[in-house]
Amino acid sequence: MADLQGLTQLFAHEMAARLRSGETTAREIAEAHLARAHATDHGLHAWLTIDDERALAEADAADATLAGARAEGPDALAALHPLHGMPVALKDLVSVKGGQCTAGSRILEGYRAPYDAHITERLRAVGVVILGKTNMDEFAMGSSCEHSAFGPTANPWDLERVPGGSSGGSAASVAAFQTPLSIGTDTGGSIRQPAALCGIVGMKPTYGRVSRYGIVAFASSLDQIGPFARDVRDAAALLHAVSGRDERDSTSAPEPVAEDLVNLPASDDEAASWLRGKRFGVPREYFVEGMEPGVAAAIRTAVADLERAGATVEEVSLPHTDYGLASYYIVAPAEASANLARYDGVRFGHAVTDGADYLADYLVTRGSGFGPEVKRRVMLGTYALSAGYYDAFYLKALKVRTLIKRDFDVLFDAGFDALVGPTSPDVAFRFGAKLADPVKMYLSDACTLPVNMAGLPGISIPCGLSEGLPVGLQLIGPAWSEGVLMRAARAYEGVTASADWRRVRPHDLAKLAGAGLPTPAERIASR
């Protein structure tokens, strides 16, 4: 009988090796993670629903497929996807047929998805086991996971701090060993920033790499689905599983999926050797005013590690970065205003009605169903699109977006393999620290949102600690360079494999298993 508790401490590729060797089963792996999630989530609140019955049924199906492959021979076994039988958590804006899909909002409370999202279909096709749905900022609008209508999520490194957002539940569940893999979405940094704050790996792929079919939309020209994991090899395998063309999504690209995503080097030395002769740029604009000194120091050390491994690193400029935040907060709210117009209390979801006055019912439904951050952005977006302001705000923001994209193109055309810099200017902050100042909260994404505006891929990987909390290193590449970025990130893992900070686990893991631990919302209310 497998050591069920020990299974949750392994990387997905280590669990997969045990699964294929017959040391364990997909059901045992699922049971171990379900048990840990149930036992430790009360004080974390990473999950909105855990679906034991469905997960165990999928695990049994994965075991049956595995048994059939073994009977057919080594070739059939090798043909199975590397993540076959592995658990994954989905952000609660991914449609799973028959399951809830709230997008963290009361206005979708009670809604059951009538179909599977494209990525749900892809995950089922490779035999992944879906454990449940994770907490998030409402409609993915936030940088702290404090804007969920169902209460905030805590950071397992410090339960008094945020995990980042909007994919905070997906990141926290991986960092807390409740699942080895999870799915998030990134509109302005919502995968990379929580990955950095929780000390894990998170990637935002090129826009169009992963189909958005079946994903609740925030800003359609910016949203992109991506993976979370505790190491680069697992993140790459998950990206491989969900990528590919989907005819139901007109923005889904026909670009082939890089097969090297499932063939990253296992050896740290082999991985590190890839860096020799590579050229990286460090944008000076990403070392923003107010950046925590410990974060800046960790990033400088990481850059020195890349140079020590044989890479060339040069300081570069992305001159329109300073306009990124302002232009993003015109484009994204404008698209949100259009996308969220469909939530009217008539067709699905939350509704407040007395049947007498449709307009009054509509206003009350949206007023009570949407939270304050969603209302703020809808009003901003509606204003930017209104008559007399479209040209002055929205159209001008689109022109700035083109300039931001051009800045990146100039550097990649000049021969840089990737750009490196901080993911977040600070480490995980305390609950409530930025709620009173929305602009201060928005600045948390200053280093990530230009990548979304340009439609490029970016990955955040752990690169050390500042005051005992994780710091994330961001790597940015040209369009469709996910394979290169994963190789670069895996190389950095190899270079720093013996670093002391890599052996530090989230400080508050032990607290999560304690009896009587209040929820994050209860702790905040008791202050």
Q: How far is CA 112 from the centre of its chain?
A: 23
d(CA 13, CA 398): 42
In a domain? residue 335: no
In a domain? residue 117: yes
If one counts the domains in the chain, the total is 1
Q: Is the bond preceding 166 in cis, omega lying within 30 degrees of 0?
A: yes
In a domain? residue 281: yes
In a domain? residue 214: yes
190 is catalytic: yes
**CATH number of the domain enclosing 206:** 3.90.1300.10
DSSP at 230: S
Token digits of residue 220 = 């359609």
Question: What percent of the chain is helix, strand and coil (3-state, nearest 5)?
Answer: 45, 15, 40
166 is catalytic: yes
Residue 389 burial by Cβ neighbours in a 10 Å radius (0-12, 13-18, 19+): middle
In a domain? residue 177: yes
Residue 110 dihedral angles phi and psi, to the nearest 5°: 90, -10
221 is catalytic: no
DSSP at 141: -
In a domain? residue 522: no
What CA–CA distances, in Å, run from 133 to 55, 161, 182? 12, 21, 9
Residue 421 burial by Cβ neighbours in a 10 Å radius (0-12, 13-18, 19+): buried
Q: What is the pLDDT along the chain (527 residues), one digit of tens a residue?
A: 344 558 999 999 999 999 999 999 999 999 999 999 999 999 999 999 999 999 999 999 999 999 999 999 999 999 999 999 999 999 999 999 999 999 999 999 999 999 999 999 999 999 999 999 999 999 999 999 999 999 999 999 999 999 999 999 999 999 999 999 999 999 999 999 999 999 999 999 999 999 999 999 999 999 999 999 999 999 999 999 999 999 999 999 999 988 889 999 999 999 999 999 999 999 999 997 789 999 999 999 999 999 999 999 999 999 999 999 999 999 999 999 999 999 988 887 888 887 678 888 888 899 999 999 999 999 999 999 998 889 999 999 999 999 999 999 999 999 999 999 999 999 999 999 999 888 888 888 999 999 999 999 999 999 999 999 999 999 999 999 999 999 999 999 999 999 999 999 999 999 998 878 999 999 999 98
DSSP 16-31: HHHHHHTSS-HHHHHH
Question: Could you tell me the residue range of the domain that residue 292 belongs to?
Answer: 4-61+81-323+398-497
Token digits of residue 344 = 């009217």
Of 144, 190, 211, 460, which residue is the catalytic one? 190
d(CA 437, CA 483): 38
Of 91, 133, 204, 278, which residue is the catalytic one? 91
Cα four-point dihedral sign 88, 93, 95, 101: positive
In a domain? residue 150: yes
Question: pTM for this one?
Answer: 0.96
Of 143, 144, 148, 166, which residue is the catalytic one? 166
What CA–CA distances, in Å, run from 349 to 100, 109, 282, 368? 11, 6, 46, 12
In a domain? residue 381: no
Closest by CA position to 48, among listed 164, 199, 139, 152: 152
Strand, coil or helix: 194: helix
What interhelical angle do 232-242 and 482-495 show, nearest 10? 170
